[in-house]
Amino acid sequence: MVSVYEQTQAALRVIKAREPEVRAWIHLDEESALEAARAIDRRAAGGELYGVILAAKDIFETADMPTAFGSPIYKDYRPVKDAAVVAKLREKGALILGKTYSTEFAAAFPTPTRNPHNLDHTPGGSSSGSAAAVASGMVRVALGTQTLGSIIRPASYCGIVGFKPTYGRVSRSGVLNLSETLDTIGFLGATLDDVAQVFYSLVDETAPAGIPHERKPRFAFCKGPGWDDANADVQSRIGRYVDSLREEGACIETLDLRSTLSEVLRAVQSVHDAEAYRNFTWERTQHFDLLSAAFQKILSRGEAVTREAYERALIVGEVGRVHMQKVFENFDGLITLSATQEAPRGLASTGSPSMNAAWTFLRGPCVSLPKLKSANGLSVGIQLIGKPFDDSHLLGCARWLDARCPET
Q: Determine which one of 57, 88, 164, 371 is catalytic.
A: 57
Q: Enumerate the β-bridge partners of residue 368.
A: 162, 383
Q: Is 373 a catalytic residue?
A: no
| Maximum CA extent, the chain | 61
Q: Is 150 a catalytic residue?
A: yes
Helix or strand run (H / E) with residue 381:
strand 379-385
Contact 71, 289 (CB under 8 A): no
Q: Is 216 a catalytic residue?
A: no
Phi and psi torsions of 124, nearest 5°: 95, 180
Number of neighbouring beta carbons within 10 Å of residue 329: 8
E strands in 190-235? 218-223
DSSP letters along 66-97, please?
---TTSGGGTT---SS--HHHHHHHHTT-EEE
Residue 16 burial by Cβ neighbours in a 10 Å radius (0-12, 13-18, 19+)? exposed
Phi and psi torsions of 202, nearest 5°: -70, -35
Q: Determine which one of 126, 128, 270, 292 is catalytic.
A: 126
CA atoms of 251 and 241, how far apart (whole Å): 13
CA dihedral for 182, 185, 188, 194, sign (positive or negative): negative
CA atoms of 330 and 327, how far apart (whole Å): 6
Q: Determine which one of 102, 127, 150, 379 is catalytic.
A: 150
- Whole-Å CA distances, 6 to 1, 37, 195: 10, 8, 22
Catalytic site residues? 57, 126, 150
